[in-house]
A and B are shown apart, each in its own frame.
Chain A
Amino acid sequence: MEANFLTLSNPGVAALGNLPVVPLDELRRRVIINVNEEGWCVSSFFGVELGGRNLLICVLRDDSSSKLHLLGCEVGKSYKSLTAECAAFHLFERELRESTGIEPAGHPWLKPIRFNADESPDPGVTDYFALGGEGAHEVSVGPVYAGLNESGHFRFQCVGEYVHLLEISLGYQHRGIESMLVGGPTKKTLPIVETIAGDSSTSHAGAYCQLVEAMSGMQPSKYAQMIRGIAWEFERIANHAGDLGALAGNVAYLPTRSYCGRIRDDFLDMTACLCGNRFGRGLIVPGGVGYDVGKARAQELIARLDKVVPDLENALDLMFAEQSVLDRFKNLGAVSKETAREIGLVGMAARASGLSCDVRTHLSYGVYGEHPVEEVVLNGGDVLARARIRYDEIRQSLSSLYLLLSSLPEVSPCVSATRDISLPSDTIGVSLVESWRGEVCHVALTDGDGRFMKYKIVDPSFHNWFGLAMSMRDEQVSHFPLCNKSFNLSCCGHDL
C-alpha cells in the first residue's frame, strides 16, 4: 500500500488540509491498481467545489487492513473517466456529471440517473438500448405499478421469453436529500436522514450520528451503543424475514408467505417497543440514544423473541425443505463472484456471491467492536444463495440480540443525547454502517463555520441495482419478479 492516501478508521475524521490532492493521472493509477488488484472497494466518489476549484474525492474501503482510504484530485470541466478500467465507478461518474457538470470523458453511457420535477429532461425521458431482429421484442414495466411499489422503470430487450438485456431507469423518487443537508447539522437533519430509505432508517441514522459524533469528538456511552446494536439487528431481522416471506409469495408458496408477513410485523413491533416507532425513528440520536430501554423492557423483548423465534424458524425451515421452492430458487439469477467484484456489489447480495464485505466485521464500529459478529459468506450468487444468506443472518442477528438484551446493565445509566452539535471547521468525516441491505456510507465536509458544505450519502441500493440487471441476463423474463425480490433494492435510497 502506498503511503499517501489519507487513511482513516471507521468512523474517521481528518482536517481537509490533510487530504492529499494529486494529479488525475496519479489518482487514476493508484485507484485502479488498488481496486482491481488489491481488492479495495469504492465506497464513495463525488465532486465538490472548494474555493473555486473542482475537487474529486474518492473513498475506498480496504477490508484487509480494516481502513478507509481517501484521495483527492483537482480537475477542470472534464477529466478522463475511470469507468472503462474500473466498472464500479460507472454510476458514480454518471452522478458526478449530473450533480456537478464535470464531464467524465470516455464514459460509455452518460445517461441521467435522477430526474428533477421542474427541470429538463422530464422524468423518464432518456435514451434506451434497443434490440432489433426477428423474435426480438421489448417489454417495459413501470414506473407506475398496481401494487405498493416504488417508482422505477425496467426495460427488457427480449428474444422470445429470454432477456437479452435489462435496463433499469430510476430517479423518480428524487427528493434532493443531499442538498437539503447542506448547511446542517440542524434539528431537521436527523429526521431527513432517517427517511433516506425508510426500511433502513436506523442504519442511516446510525451512520449520520457516528459521523457527527466522530467529528465533534462526542463519545456515546457503551450502553447507548448496545441499544443502537439492538435496533440495527431488529431492523435486519424484520427486513430479512419480510423478504423471505415475499420470496415465498413470489413462487406462490403460501405457508411461509403468510407466516413471515406476520412475523416481520412482530419484529417491527419490537422496535416500536424500544422507541415508539416501528422503524426505529428517533431512537438513534447524536451523542447516544433517544430512549432508555431498561432491564424490564429488555426482559419483555426477550420473552417476545422466545415466542416468535420458533414460529420464524418453523416457517423458514418449511420453505427451505420444500423441493418445489428450491427448484425455483436454484441456479436462478446467478451473479458470479468476478462480476460481483467488478461492478462493486455490496452487502448480503455480494456475500451471497462469495465476496467478504461485511462492514460490521471488517471495519467494526459501535457495539460490534466488543460483540463481534461472524460474517456469513455463501457461494453461488443465485436466488437461493440470497435467500439462504438471509436465513443465516437472521440466526446470527438473533444470537446477537439475545446477547445484547441480556447483557444490558441492571441499573440503566443515563442516556445522553446532545441536541446542540458543533462541528469543527474545514473537516472531512466518513462513516460506514452495514445496513440489512449492505454498506451505508456517509461522507461530510464542513466549511469554515463548521456547517456541512457537502453531505454525500451512498445507499447500498446505489451499488446493487446494476447487480440485478446483470442477474437477469439470459434469464427468462418471467423470473424477473423473483430476482428483483431477492435483491429487494430501494428506489428512494438510490434516488435520494
Chain B
Amino acid sequence: MDWWLVSLLSALVLCPLLPGLVNRVKAFFAGRSGPSLFQLYYDLFKLLKKGRVYSLTSCGLVGLSPWFSLGCVVVALLFMPLGMCDSPLRFTGDVILFLYLLVLSRLLMVLGALDAGTSFEGMGSSRKVHFSALSELVLLGAVVFLICLTGRMDLSGLLNSAGVASWGRYGVLLLLTSLGLYIVMLSECCRGPFGDPDTQLELAMIDEAMVLDYSGSDLAAIRYAASLKMWVFGSLFVMVLLPADLLDGFQGWLAYSSSIFATALSIGVIESVMARYRFKKIPQVLLAGFGLTLISLVFLLFFGGR
C-alpha cells in the first residue's frame, strides 16, 4: 500500500521525463546533444503561464476536453497495480472500467478536436478513431488472455499475480502478450513508427493534428496527459513482463520505475533506427498485435493444461 502510493506519486511527478528521455536517445543517435531531460517540465511551466485562444466555431468543448481527458487518465491510473503493489481501489471487474476510462479520455480529445472545426483536426480525429478501434482489440485480447491465465477479474490481479512460477511455465505466452501491449503503447501514444511527434507536416499527423488549435494551459494539460498515458501504457507492458513475486517494497518500486524508463529508452531507439509506417500499414501491425494475444490465448487454453 505504501509503496503503491509512492509509485503513484512518482508516476504523476516523473512522467514528463519519459518524452525527454526518448528525445535524448534520438539526439544521441543523430549525433546531437539534444534538449534537456527536463524540457517538458519547462514547457509545461511556460504553457501554464500563457493565455488561451479558442476557435470561433467552438461551442466551448475545446476548453474542457483536455482537462476531463487528463482526469480520465489519472483516474485510470488509480486502478493500476503500481510498483508490484495491488491498487487499494481494486474491485472485481475494474479492468473494464480501466479500459473505458482510457477510451473516454480519447473520445473527449476527439470531440474537442472536432469542436475546433478545422479540416486538419477532422483528419487527425478520423485517423485516431480508426487506429484506436484496432488497438482496443489488442488490449481486449491481452485482458482475456490474462484472465484465463490468472483467473482474476481485477486489474491488479491480472497484472500482479503471474509470478515466477507462471513465468517458468507460460513465459513465451507472456512475452507474446507483452509484445502486443508494446505495439498498443506505440500506437496509442503516437510514437514511431506509428506516428512522429516531431513532425511539422499537418497532412501526415495523427495526435499532433488533433491538438493544433490548443494553446496555453489547455496545451499543457494535453502534453502532460500524453506523457502520463505513456506511463500508463508503459506500466501495462512492464507489469506483464515483471514476475509479480520477485521483488517487493523499495526494490519492487525501483524495478518497476526503472523498467518504465528502460521502455522509454527502447522507444527512443526504435524512433531512431526506422522510418514511420505509411498509414495503410498501421492497421495491419495492430492486427498482428491482436494475433499475438490470440496465439497466447489459444496456446493457453488448448495446451496450457488448465
Q: Which residues of A contact B26 (CB under 8 A)?
A: 254
For B187-200 the 0/1 string (1 means CB < 8 A from A) is 00000110010111
- With A and B bound together, what is the CA distance between A252 and B204 in angstroms? 11
- With A and B bound together, what is the CA distance between A479 and B204 in angstroms? 7
Residue A252 contacts which of B29, B196, B280 (CB distance < 8 angstroms)?
A: B196
- With A and B bound together, what is the CA distance between A253 and B30 in angstroms? 10
Residues of chain A from 308 to 348 with CB closer than 8 A to chain B in the complex: 322, 324-325, 327-328, 332
For B258-289 the 0/1 string (1 means CB < 8 A from A) is 00000000000001111111111100000000
Q: Does B203 contact A (CB under 8 A)?
A: yes
Tell whether A252 pairs with B199 under 8 Å between CB atoms, given A139-B123, A140-B119, A258-B32.
Answer: yes
Residue B274 contacts which of A141, A253, A478 (CB distance < 8 angstroms)?
A: A253
Is A479 a contact partner of B119 (Cβ separation < 8 A)?
no
Listed residue (A161, A255, A324, A325) with the most chain B CB atoms within 10 angstroms of its CB: A324
Q: Does A361 contact B (CB under 8 A)?
A: no
- With A and B bound together, what is the CA distance between A62 and B199 in angstroms? 43
21 chain-A/chain-B pairs, Cβ below 8 angstroms: A139-B119, A139-B120, A139-B123, A140-B119, A141-B203, A147-B200, A161-B279, A248-B275, A251-B276, A254-B30, A255-B30, A259-B31, A325-B275, A327-B281, A328-B275, A328-B277, A476-B278, A479-B204, A479-B278, A481-B201, A481-B203
Closest to B281 in A: A327
Is B204 a contact partner of A481 (Cβ separation < 8 A)?
yes
Closest to A160 in B: B126
Is A254 a contact partner of B277 (Cβ separation < 8 A)?
no
Q: Does A480 contact B (CB under 8 A)?
A: yes
Residues of chain B from 51 to 76 with CB closer than 8 A to chain A in the complex: none
For B69-112 the 0/1 string (1 means CB < 8 A from A) is 00000000000000000000000000000000000000000000
Q: Does B245 contact A (CB under 8 A)?
A: no
Q: Does A379 contact B (CB under 8 A)?
A: no
Shortest beta-carbon distance from A168 to chain B in Å:
14
For B172-213 the 0/1 string (1 means CB < 8 A from A) is 000000000000000000001100101111111000000000
Is A324 a contact partner of B193 (Cβ separation < 8 A)?
yes
Is A322 a contact partner of B274 (Cβ separation < 8 A)?
yes
Listed residue (B202, B203, B204, B276) with the most chain A CB atoms within 10 angstroms of its CB: B203
Is B192 a contact partner of A477 (Cβ separation < 8 A)?
no
Interface residues of A (CB under 8 A from B): 137-141, 146-147, 161, 248, 250-255, 257-259, 322, 324-325, 327-328, 332, 476-482
Tell whether A324 pairs with B275 under 8 Å between CB atoms, given A252-B192, A254-B30.
Answer: yes
Tell whether A146 pairs with B278 under 8 Å between CB atoms, given A254-B26, A254-B29, A255-B272.
Answer: no
Interface residues of B (CB under 8 A from A): 26, 29-32, 119-120, 122-123, 127, 192-193, 196, 198-204, 271-281
Known: A252-B199, A258-B30, A322-B274. 11 other contacts (CB 8 A): A250-B204, A252-B271, A253-B274, A324-B193, A324-B275, A325-B275, A327-B275, A328-B275, A332-B278, A476-B280, A482-B204
Is B279 a contact partner of A252 (Cβ separation < 8 A)?
no
Listed residue (A140, A328, A332) with the most chain B CB atoms within 10 angstroms of its CB: A328
Is A478 a contact partner of B119 (Cβ separation < 8 A)?
no
Q: Which residues of A contact B30 (CB under 8 A)?
A: 254-255, 257-258
- With A and B bound together, what is the CA distance between A139 and B205 in angstroms? 14
Is A255 a contact partner of B203 (Cβ separation < 8 A)?
no
Closest to B200 in A: A147
Is B274 a contact partner of A324 (Cβ separation < 8 A)?
yes
- With A and B bound together, what is the CA distance between A250 and B122 in angstroms? 22
Q: Which residues of B contact A254 (CB under 8 A)?
A: 26, 29-30, 271-272
Shortest beta-carbon distance from B26 to chain A in Å:
6
Is B32 a contact partner of A252 (Cβ separation < 8 A)?
no
| 9 tightest A-B CB contacts, nearest first | A258-B30, A251-B275, A252-B196, A481-B201, A253-B275, A324-B275, A324-B274, A252-B276, A325-B275
Shortest beta-carbon distance from A154 to chain B in Å:
9
Closest to A139 in B: B119
Closest to B120 in A: A139
Is B203 a contact partner of A477 (Cβ separation < 8 A)?
yes
Is A141 a contact partner of B279 (Cβ separation < 8 A)?
no
Is B278 a contact partner of A328 (Cβ separation < 8 A)?
yes
- With A and B bound together, what is the CA distance between A60 and B275 in angstroms? 42
Q: Which residues of A contact B272 (CB under 8 A)?
A: 254-255
Is B201 a contact partner of A250 (Cβ separation < 8 A)?
yes
Tell whether A476 pairs with B202 under 8 Å between CB atoms, given A139-B119, A139-B123, A324-B274.
Answer: no
Q: Which residues of A contact B120 (CB under 8 A)?
A: 139
Shortest beta-carbon distance from B235 to chain A in Å:
26
Q: Which residues of A contact B193 (CB under 8 A)?
A: 252, 324
- With A and B bound together, what is the CA distance between A324 and B204 in angstroms? 16
- With A and B bound together, what is the CA distance between A325 and B273 in angstroms? 10
Shortest beta-carbon distance from B250 to chain A in Å:
37
Shortest beta-carbon distance from A363 to chain B in Å:
38
Is B279 a contact partner of A478 (Cβ separation < 8 A)?
yes
Residue B204 contacts which of A137, A327, A478 (CB distance < 8 angstroms)?
A: A478
